[in-house]
Each structure stands twice: as C-alpha cells, then as structure tokens.
Structure 1
Amino acid sequence: MAASPLSQPSPRPSSTSGWIGALERTARIDAQPERIFPRVIDELAARHGAAPALIGTDETLSHRELAARQNRYARWALDLGLAKGETVALLMTNRPDFLAIWLGITRVGVRVALLNTNLRDRSLAHCIDVAAPRILIADRELAEAVASAEPHLVKRLDIVWQGMGADGASLSEAAAGYSEAPLQDGEGPAVGVRDEALLIFTSGTTGLPKAARVSHHRIMMWTHWFAGLIDAGADDRMYNCLPLYHSVGGVVAPGSVLLGGGAVVIRQKFSASAFWRDVTESGATMFQYIGELCRYLTVAPPDPFERRHALRLCTGNGMRPDVWERFRDRFAIPRILEFYAATEGTVSLYNVEGKLGAVGRVPSFMARRSPALIVRHDVETGLPLRDAAGRCVPAEPDESGELLGRLSSKAEHSFEGYTSAEETSRKVVRDVLQPGDAWMRTGDLMRRDVQGFFYFVDRIGDTFRWKGENVATNEVAEAIGNCPGVIEASVYGVAVSGAEGRAGMAALVIGPDFELEALHAVLAERLPAYARPLFLRIVPTFAHTETFKQKKGALAAEGFDPSRIRDVLYVCLDDRYRRLDPSLFKEICEGKLRL
C-alpha cells in the first residue's frame, strides 16, 4: 500500500472532531478509579485477540499475548514479595517485552523506574539511587552499563536479568509458569488511578536527570487523549523508534494505538538511511516523531521509498517551521499533528488544525478547562515578572513569556512532582493572579497570537540579552536553518569582556555549498542586528541527548577563545564575517574593537 504524492497540502481536518474524540475517550477515567491501563490491556485482549499489538525486530506480540505476558509478570512480582509502593528499576532496550514488564509490575501497585539505556557510570548510578529500587531488572545486553554504575551506587542492588546468559536464568523463564489469565479481585493489592505507576527521568540537559512521578491517572489521560486526537483504529500501525523509557515513546505512542486495536512497530533506534524502507515495508500508517528526526530526514539524500509509504499522520513535538513544509511536501505527508507537553507538566497543547509552526490552540469550548497562562518573563532574574502588587503580568498577544500551568485538586491539573521535594518546590510559583493560587512553571517561553495559537519560543536559560534586547536562540536557529549549506545549528550566548549581557554565537555543521556571505545575507534579511550571531564556530558534529536535544553547555562554556578551540572561528566585523585568530581575539578582549 503506497501513498499518492501530494501536489498540495491536504485540507485541514475539523479541529472540533479531534477535540471531541479526545474528550469522549477521557470522560470515564475519573468515574472508574480502579480501571488502570493494565486492566485496559486485558479488555483489549478479549476484544482483539490474535491481532498484532507490538511488532519488534525479534518478536511480535498479539493483544492476547501482551495481556498474557503482563499477567505472568504481575504474578511473578507478587510471588517475589514486592509490595505496593515499592520500586523496581527497569534497564532495557526497545522491544515488546519492555512494555509487558512495566505493565505487569505496575498492575500490582509496584512503581517502575524507566532507566535511560545510554547512561553509564555515575550518571546511571545517580538515577538508580534516586529511584531507590528494591530490585533492578536489566537486559543482559546492558551488563556493561550496569557494571559501570555498580561501584558508584549508594546501596548494593539485587539484579534480575532478562535474556539468556551463562547460567541460563532469565526473568521470562522465572515468570513462565504463572497463569496468564487476568488478575482477579483480591489477587494482589487494590490499585487505582491516583496511585503511582512510573518514574520517568528528565533528559538532564542542564544537570543530572530528575525523576518525575507518573500516576496511573496520567497514563490513562495520555493514552486515551491521544487515541481520540489521532482517531486510532484496528488498521493503524504506529512506527515508533523513540526511546521506550520516555513518556512519548514508551507510553503515548504505543498506548494510543493499542486502544484502537492497532499495532506499534517498535524499533531500537532511528536510522535516517533505513527509515523510509522500514516504514513502507512495515505498513506503518502513523509515525511518532521528535522534530530533529524530521530535520535529519529532510537533509538526507533522496530515498526510493520516501513517497511510497502508507503514512496518514505524523505526530510529535519540536517540528520547527523551517522544517515543517519541507518535510510535509518532500515526503507527501497528509497530516502533521504537533503538540506540546512534558512528562511532569500540567498543561498540554495540541495543533489539531495543522497550523504551520504552532504547537497548539485552546478552542473556545475548552477555555475554562485549560490551565495554560503566559506571563511576562524577567530575563535578568529568570523568574516571572511581578507588578507593583506582587502579581504576575499576563503577556499580551504575540508577546513572549513563560508558560504556566494552573494547579488544582483535579487529577489532571495536579503536579505530581519529582522524587526530590526540593526540585518539586522549585517548579511551583504562587500568588500569580490572586493570593494563594499555585501554578507550575514549564520553563518554556511561548507566545500566543490573536487567533489563540501558541508558538514555542525558547527554553528559559537559552534566551540571552544583548544590546538591551532579549534574543531567543530557537528563533535564531530557525533563521540560520534557511541558509543553504547549513546542516545543523546550535545558538547560545557568550560573555564578552567589557560588554553587558551576552553576545550571540552559533556553532554550525555545514555542507560543501555553505558560504559565509550567503549566511550573512540571510541573517540580515530575517533578524534584527542585535539577534544576529556575532561569533560563528564550524564544528564537525554535535553532542545530543537521547531525545535529540543539543548539549549546548560545553559549547557556551568554551566561548570564542581560539587558543582553547581547535574549530574554525569567525567574528562579524564591518558587516561581514572574518576569521577569528588570537590577535583579533586579544583586541576584542581589550575593548579595542567595537562590537
């Protein structure tokens, strides 16, 4: 089955139908507090039986087999003596068994901490210590990672291995003898939607990862809400190459499709060269993206399979405007559903209409239900700006400010926080609009246009101030992305001796057709003078987190000193970029050159 090439963008679908579908799917969650997602998996097994549910590289599980496996793991956990409220850590690569394990263990009230398979040594030990698990379930393929962390652990771990080893023992063998039938009432503790299910770690782009608490209610809301938005059906297959230890790849993408009776195509990782062939041959109808994956595909060489797929929808977050149209038109994508959310967040936004570059909109009939508020941001303090009465100041239309999420006693508007009480308290701001109210800080700068569409501007901390003006690194990176020959750009602020604020600097990965003059012309056309990067650094590649976020910290710390940096550097002087050498650097530091 192949998609027909698109000569023009498809008409926008009805936004009302998407919202109504999401509302209908989530309507019963609070009314059935004992109906957690593992119970839903049992319901799906009875309904869809032998239809495929999880399609991995090495095995495929039907809906019935997924339910059977989760129930065996649940009974194994009970027999092991794991008690409600205790924690099990899970370190496993992308595969169907990953989902079956956490579904089964959380079914009996045990919390599962999903560990990042890319971490090693002290970073991995930190995450394990934060979770404080009673046992660690680890993939034998990751034995080296476990060994690297063990010397740094506060407490020795009991490890249960999954996969064949020298002794032949594995979790799957230990659980094989248990019943695969749904658990009966009274078999194990009572578990409801308000109980904790998972610990999911942040990416740790600005420090060590934090463990966000995720309740069964949050899992039910994520999965059912997205199932309604994407209108998942039994014929759908979601292509998922995102890490299963994160909320989107491990909960939203698989859960939303399983609810409709469809299947999830699980891959170990993203491969730009193999992507379109795999999507086509797997019969995928949907793709869960992170914006950087789409950008990688748009700069990849032509692929004979890139317009032969059956995709009807791509959904995800972080699709930059400069990538959106190229991705849609080159690969004949009928519909893009961009959204904004965070694992620990209380506010989420959905671009159901497909508005170019927007992360979402709150329709009028949802306005009272929405917790979203944008307030003015003080770049100097990094906090919301307060007026004379001590209240935060709502941003005007098209004015950038920090997005806040209102907190209340309703489960969907409660901040479940982190394992660290200190980290949790840092995210809460009070007396925002009236005395005693409480809101969660997202740490993201947004703007809202007169039509009500929200646009991501930047992360707080990435924005810097130069020449008395605030500069959003994300917007500068988008402008640079329109320059021929730029493969990837990272923008950040650097301190300049004798100057207030931070000057803009861009690290670039470039192709053979890159020209400095062309870059300068593009920036002069698209950006005000204060926002144009004063310094350039040509790098061979970037370091990224596992969710493809750029690691800017080391680049910003190195600044623009040619004695510390082996990469080629440039500075903008006299309206053109010139090679930055030690003598020119010295003149800048001594204040002899006007920047």
Structure 2
Amino acid sequence: MLLSWLTGVGAGIAFLHFMQKLLFPYFWHDFWYLLKVARVGLRIEMFGLRGELVTVLDKFLSHAKRQPHKPFVIYEGDVYTYQDVDRRSSRVASVFLNQSTLKKGDTVTLLMSNEPDFVHVWFGLAKLGCVVAFLNSNIRSKSLLHCICSCEPRALVVGEDLLGTIEEILQSLPEDITVWGMKDSVPQGVISLKEKLSTAPDKPVPRRHHVASNLKSTHLYIFTSGTTGLPKAAVITQLQALWASALLWAFGCTADDIIYITLPLYHSSASLLGIGGCIELGATCVLKKKFSASQFWNDCKKYNVTIFQYIGELCHYLCKQPKQEGEKDHQVRLAIGNGVRSNVWREFLDRFGNIKMCELYGATEGNISFMNHTGKIGSLGRTNFFYKLLFAFDLIKYDFQKDEPIRNEQGWCSSVKKGEPGLLIAPVSAQHPFFGHAGNKKYTGKKLLYDVFKKGDVYFNTGDLLVQDQDFLYFWDRTGDTFRWKGENVATTEVADIVAMLDFIQEASVYGVVVPDFEGKTGMASIILKPNKSLDLKKFYDQVVTFLPGYACPRFLRIQGKMETTGTFKLQKFRLVEEGFNPLKISDPLYFMDNLKKSYVPLTKELYHQIVLGEIKL
C-alpha cells in the first residue's frame, strides 16, 4: 500500500514538473531573480528604517578595511588594491579639502579617459560629499562648454591626455570654475592636481564630510543625448547608484569573479554597473583604456576574466575578427550588456563558447529597467504579471510620421497589442520616481507625458519603441531626433547646428540611416545650399571633425534643392530615413566621408556596394 502511494506521489510530482517545464519553462529562473530583487529592496528599506544610509562609497570603504590587499582595479598590468584606491582617493580629497574652497554639495566636472585616476578622483570627491559630473571624453568645443556649464560646477578635473581639448575652451569657461589637470606641467590657468597629490596625506577623510542625509540626494550627473538639442546632465541619486550596483549580483556574479570593463566610465554601464557592481560584490575589475577587438581575448586569458560588459557593437566587432585557434579557450562565463542583435548573438556563442549573454535595458535617467536573466536570444528583458508588479510599464501606440504618441478623440493614449511596436512608458510614482536633469527645467519636462490614460497621471517617456510577445520584450527602434551609433546616442539637432554654421549652407537636416550588418544607425546630413554658393566638401569635412565627436560625424551627405516640411514646418525626415543613402534610388548628389582623403567624396555605385558588403570600414 505504502509503495503504491509513494509511486503515485512520485508520478504526480513528475507530471507537475513536466507541466511546469511545458507551460512555465522560466518559472524557477523568474522566482529566484525576483526574490533577489525583493531582497535588495528590503535591504535598502531596512537600512533606512534603522537610520543607516549606506551608500556605494560606504560599501567600498568597508571592503578597504575588510580586504585591503585584494585587487580592486587592474590596469595595463598594474594592480590597485582596495587599500591603494582608498589611500589615493583620500589624497585627492585632502587636496581639495585643504587647497580649494569646495564644500559638501558642490558639483565638480570630471573629464578623463578610462584610467585608475578616474576612480581615484571620483571617490576622492565623493568622500567630500561633492557631486561629480562625468563628461564624455569625445566631445569638444561648443558641446563640451555647454555640458560643463549646464551643471554649474565649482571645479573641473581634466586627465593628462585631454588637457588639449580643454585649452580650446579655457578662455570661455566661467571665471568661478577652477580647472585642475592631472599632469605636472599644465597650461596657464590650470592647477596641477598631480603635483599636489605627490605631497598630500592619505589619511582617511572623516565620514561627516560625505555621510548622506537622504538616499534621494544627488550623487552624480551622467550626460545623455536626449531627443533634442545638446547633451543633458541626468541626475543620479545615491538610491539609483545602489540599485545599479546590485545588477551584477542579481545576474549571479560573485566576489570571486573578475570583470573586464572596456566601456567608457563616463557612461552609467561602466561606472554604475561595472565599478559599482564590483564594489557590491567585493570583486576585481580589469579596466581597459579603450576597447580593442584584437586584444580582447588575449586580455581575458591573461587576467583570468570571468565576466565582461558589452554593447552590441563590441560583440559585432569581436565576430568580425579573423578566426583563430583556441577561441573558446578562456574562462569567461557571463557577458552583461545591451544592444546585441540576434544574428550576432548566435554567431558570438557559436564562435566563443557557452557564454551566458545577460541583456538588460535601462535609460540612464529613467525609472524603468528590464533584465533578460534567462539568456533568451534577442530579448532585452522578461515581462509577465509578476514582473509588472515590480516594474510597471506600458507600450502605447505611436505615430511614426508625426513622431508623437497617438491620442484618441478624448485625448487618451492606448496600448498596443502583443507583437506590435509601441512606445515604452513607465508611470512616475513615489516608488518609481523620475529625478530629471540638471539645469533648465524644460529638459526634465520633455521626458514626461501627462494625462496618458486618465486625468493627472504622469509617465516617463523612454523614447524607445519595443515589441512584446508573451513573456519577453524586444527592441524595435528609437523615436525623436536621435539615433545610436558606435554605442553612443547622437542628437541630430546638435549635429545640424554644427553643420549649419558653414557659410554656404542654408538649411540642414540630420538623421540616422541603417547600414547593413552594422549595429544602430549612422549619421546622414541632407543640406540645401545658399543661392550663388558652391559646396566645399573639404570645408564640410573639417567642420564636422573639428566640432563633433567621431561617432556623431555624418558619414553620408545629400544635396537637395528643397526640403519637405510638415504643417508645423518641422523638417520631414521620415522619407529621407527610408531612402537612406542608395544612389540607385536617389537622384540627388550623394557624398561619403573619406577619412583617408580628409574630405567627402562622391558616393558612386561602386563605393555604395563596397560599403554595403562591409569592404569599407565605417
């Protein structure tokens, strides 16, 4: 009797297990992941209830005491332990505490490439309670000046290799901004921080200087390219930094992992998820000055890397490398990032082995994020009833030609059906706040949608179009006057403003076009010449390379006789984007940016085919 009963129970369990696998194949993946998310939230709440506002910096200082000799940052073969970084950052804090007028709450802009001193200066200023604004190291001239001034800093710290960039705008900076350079010999008007660090003490800085009064207080500014205009400084609070630092742990990373960071630290992925994630774990990171496809796997083997961060372009470049023996001979088990296409994803796994790709989605300033912890190819994140309890969102109908959400006769938006692309929006609430941008309040207002489904509701507008199937989300496209190229967001109005400065151009429209087998879209400018003015291709080239970062320079140029406009005189780009840069379909003169000739050259049919076939590097 007992044996029969046990057999029946066993059969029942087996049947339930089979049905769970059949109907809910990701049940346990979701269960353990959501449990981790809940645990992080509960831990933050408990700290708050006990009056212990623990920040990412506090966690770093705890590791520096508990494991002082463990490597924290490895850079070009040099090892910086937790204690080393603690002491070096204390020197930075000492210099600014004793030899400047900086005080708690002041903003300091940081213009540095990937190097250990980026972390040292960041942490040193954080020890004084300063808000650090990360500047994109690629931008120059007008854009750089705008970014610096927009967050009203008291000081600017510049890396040795970027002092030349600052010299270009030094005379235009407000007088109340003190400029510090990470070099012994600095230009006139710049103070040598490196020289002062050599004699500064490395004593611990009293915690009273940086203790947080509120987790919603500003920790950082990270610049983003919005849908219009110049870059904007997104507010990153202590709370956002804490949540971001927990993502590596949520994906299953541990203190024994070695994380390879080749993405720029001025982006939230590398700084908040990468450096912050290492601190949350007490792990080690290998920091690279700049991504190199040819050196990538050698570095992974040399430093026993187990996890790396990526963007879609990074995986694409690795797949484009010549095949070699032993490509699967490494210890990498996880890759964490966003933006990899399904075909590249499959090719990457085929070539480089059983690496779990963990896609994620999240706007720097946004209040919504998704994680694909299952490894489902092509998806940026999971979604189901339980997920929406934690991460509320909606996908609404969007008019692609008018470039705005569709509203019915009553003025309300409506959700799309599953399988249809829709604009991703997320409700703004006390649990999911939107902290906005520094500077002009209109920047913050443009990221919000009001009266969406009912009177008085407020939603964060991500500017991204997604598609949802039963349980997964997929990226479809971006909205507005922005596109993504080389892992960077490009605001088309910013590029158009630079182009329109040329004396022979009457009107300029900039947009992104798809290039086969490339991630994102690359820039294209359509222009109208002034009457009795001729096109100067060399001058056009010099203008864009002088005033724009490389990823924002239009790769293609189109000369039009006139431009279509909408009823509100907004430049109509929809048709231009669809036509792309194909000389077989376009009768207007077309040109291509040739960096070898340092000019734009006619885009012939032969040149077009070379670009499409990937024979020319973009």
TM-score strictly above 0.5? yes
Measured in 2, the distance between the counterparts of 1:241 and 1:19 equals 29
Provide closer, same or farther for how the CA distance between residues 44 and 89 of structure 1 changes in structure 2, counting only shifts above 3 A.
same
Q: Which residue number corresponds to residue 62 of structure 1? A: 81
State the AA in 1 paired with 2:284: A
**Secondary structure of 1:368's partner?**
helix
- 1:1-150 equivalences under 5 Å are 14-33=29-48, 34-57=53-76, 59-79=78-98, 80-150=100-170
Which residue of 222, 230, 233 corresponds with 1:211?
233
Measured in 1, the distance between the counterparts of 2:365 and 2:196 equals 35
Provide closer, same or farther for how the CA distance between residues 231 and 49 of structure 1 changes in structure 2, counting only shifts above 3 A.
farther
Q: How far 1:546 sits from its partner (Å)?
A: 7.4
State the AA in 2 paired with 1:430: Y
State the AA in 1 paired with 2:312: G
Q: How far 1:462 sits from its partner (Å)?
A: 7.3
State the AA in 2 paired with 1:339: L
**Secondary structure of 2:149's partner?**
helix
1:446, 1:458 within 8 Å by CA — same for their partners in 2?
A: yes
1:291, 1:320 within 8 Å by CA — same for their partners in 2?
A: yes
Q: Which residue number corresponds to residue 346 of structure 2? A: 325
- 1:304-323 equivalences under 5 Å are 304=325, 306-323=327-344
Provide closer, same or farther for how the CA distance between residues 407 and 166 of structure 1 changes in structure 2, counting only shifts above 3 A.
closer
Which residue of 259, 264, 270 corresponds with 1:249?
270
- 1:485-524 equivalences under 5 Å are 490=521
Please tell me whether residue 457 in structure 1 is matched to residue 476 in structure 2: yes
Measured in 1, the distance between the counterparts of 2:117 and 2:404 equals 43
Q: Which residue number corresponds to residue 519 of structure 1? A: none
Gaps of 5+ in 2: 1-24, 484-510, 527-544, 559-575, 592-600, 610-618
State the AA in 2 paired with 1:458: D
Q: How far 1:217 sits from its partner (Å)?
A: 1.1
Which residue of 424, 427, 434 corresponds with 2:454?
434
- 1:476-487 equivalences under 5 Å are 480-481=516-517
**Secondary structure of 2:449's partner?**
strand
Q: How far 1:274 sits from its partner (Å)?
A: 1.2
Give the superposed CA RMSD.
3.5
Please tell me whether residue 164 in structure 1 is matched to residue 184 in structure 2: yes
1:203, 1:546 within 8 Å by CA — same for their partners in 2?
A: no
Provide closer, same or farther for how the CA distance between residues 50 and 189 of structure 1 changes in structure 2, counting only shifts above 3 A.
closer
1:76, 1:175 within 8 Å by CA — same for their partners in 2?
A: no
Q: How far 1:359 sits from its partner (Å)?
A: 0.5
**Secondary structure of 2:335's partner?**
strand
Which residue of 282, 295, 301 corresponds with 1:261?
282
Measured in 2, the distance between the counterparts of 1:58 and 1:165 equals 26
State the AA in 1 paired with 2:193: S
Provide closer, same or farther for how the CA distance between residues 305 and 107 of structure 1 changes in structure 2, counting only shifts above 3 A.
farther
1:276, 1:303 within 8 Å by CA — same for their partners in 2?
A: no
Q: Which residue number corresponds to residue 525 of structure 1? A: none
Q: How far 1:187 sits from its partner (Å)?
A: 4.5
Q: How far 1:415 sits from its partner (Å)?
A: 3.3
Which residue of 369, 372, 375 corresponds with 1:354?
375
Please tell me whether residue 181 in structure 1 is matched to residue 204 in structure 2: yes
State the number of aligned residues: 499
Which residue of 192, 197, 209 corresponds with 2:219?
197
**Secondary structure of 2:466's partner?**
strand
Measured in 2, the distance between the counterparts of 1:247 and 1:436 equals 31
Q: How far 1:95 sits from its partner (Å)?
A: 1.2
Q: Which residue number corresponds to residue 589 of structure 2? A: 563
Q: How far 1:260 sits from its partner (Å)?
A: 1.4
State the AA in 2 paired with 1:438: V
2:223, 2:233 within 8 Å by CA — same for their partners in 1?
A: yes
Q: How far 1:142 sits from its partner (Å)?
A: 1.4
Provide closer, same or farther for how the CA distance between residues 563 and 169 of structure 1 changes in structure 2, counting only shifts above 3 A.
closer
Provide closer, same or farther for how the CA distance between residues 166 and 151 of structure 1 changes in structure 2, counting only shifts above 3 A.
closer
Which residue of 270, 279, 283 corresponds with 2:304?
283
1:111, 1:197 within 8 Å by CA — same for their partners in 2?
A: yes
1:108, 1:191 within 8 Å by CA — same for their partners in 2?
A: no
Provide closer, same or farther for how the CA distance between residues 293 and 351 of structure 1 changes in structure 2, counting only shifts above 3 A.
same
Gaps of 5+ in 1: 1-10, 465-472, 482-486, 496-541, 572-576, 578-595
Provide closer, same or farther for how the CA distance between residues 425 and 552 of structure 1 changes in structure 2, counting only shifts above 3 A.
farther
State the AA in 2 paired with 1:250: S
Please tell me whether residue 423 in structure 1 is matched to residue 443 in structure 2: yes
Measured in 2, the distance between the counterparts of 1:189 and 1:285 equals 34
Q: How far 1:83 sits from its partner (Å)?
A: 2.0
Measured in 1, the distance between the counterparts of 2:196 and 2:352 equals 44
Measured in 2, the distance between the counterparts of 1:561 and 1:153 equals 46
Provide closer, same or farther for how the CA distance between residues 296 and 23 of structure 1 changes in structure 2, counting only shifts above 3 A.
same
1:94, 1:267 within 8 Å by CA — same for their partners in 2?
A: yes
**Secondary structure of 2:145's partner?**
helix
Q: How far 1:65 sits from its partner (Å)?
A: 2.2
Measured in 1, the distance between the counterparts of 2:474 and 2:550 equals 20
- CA offsets, 1:94-130, max 9 Å, x none? 1122122212312333111111111222221121111
Q: Which residue number corresponds to residue 542 of structure 2? A: none
Please tell me whether residue 334 in structure 1 is matched to residue 361 in structure 2: no
State the AA in 2 paired with 1:354: G
Provide closer, same or farther for how the CA distance between residues 69 and 192 of structure 1 changes in structure 2, counting only shifts above 3 A.
farther
Q: How far 1:16 sits from its partner (Å)?
A: 2.8
**Secondary structure of 1:61's partner?**
strand
Provide closer, same or farther for how the CA distance between residues 63 and 383 of structure 1 changes in structure 2, counting only shifts above 3 A.
same
1:287, 1:315 within 8 Å by CA — same for their partners in 2?
A: yes
**Secondary structure of 2:47's partner?**
coil
Provide closer, same or farther for how the CA distance between residues 45 and 376 of structure 1 changes in structure 2, counting only shifts above 3 A.
same
- CA offsets, 1:254-285, max 9 Å, x none? 21123212111000101111111111111110
State the AA in 2 paired with 1:563: P
- CA offsets, 1:243-263, max 9 Å, x none? 111111122112112321211
State the AA in 2 paired with 1:28: R
Which residue of 377, 388, 399 corresponds with 2:398?
377
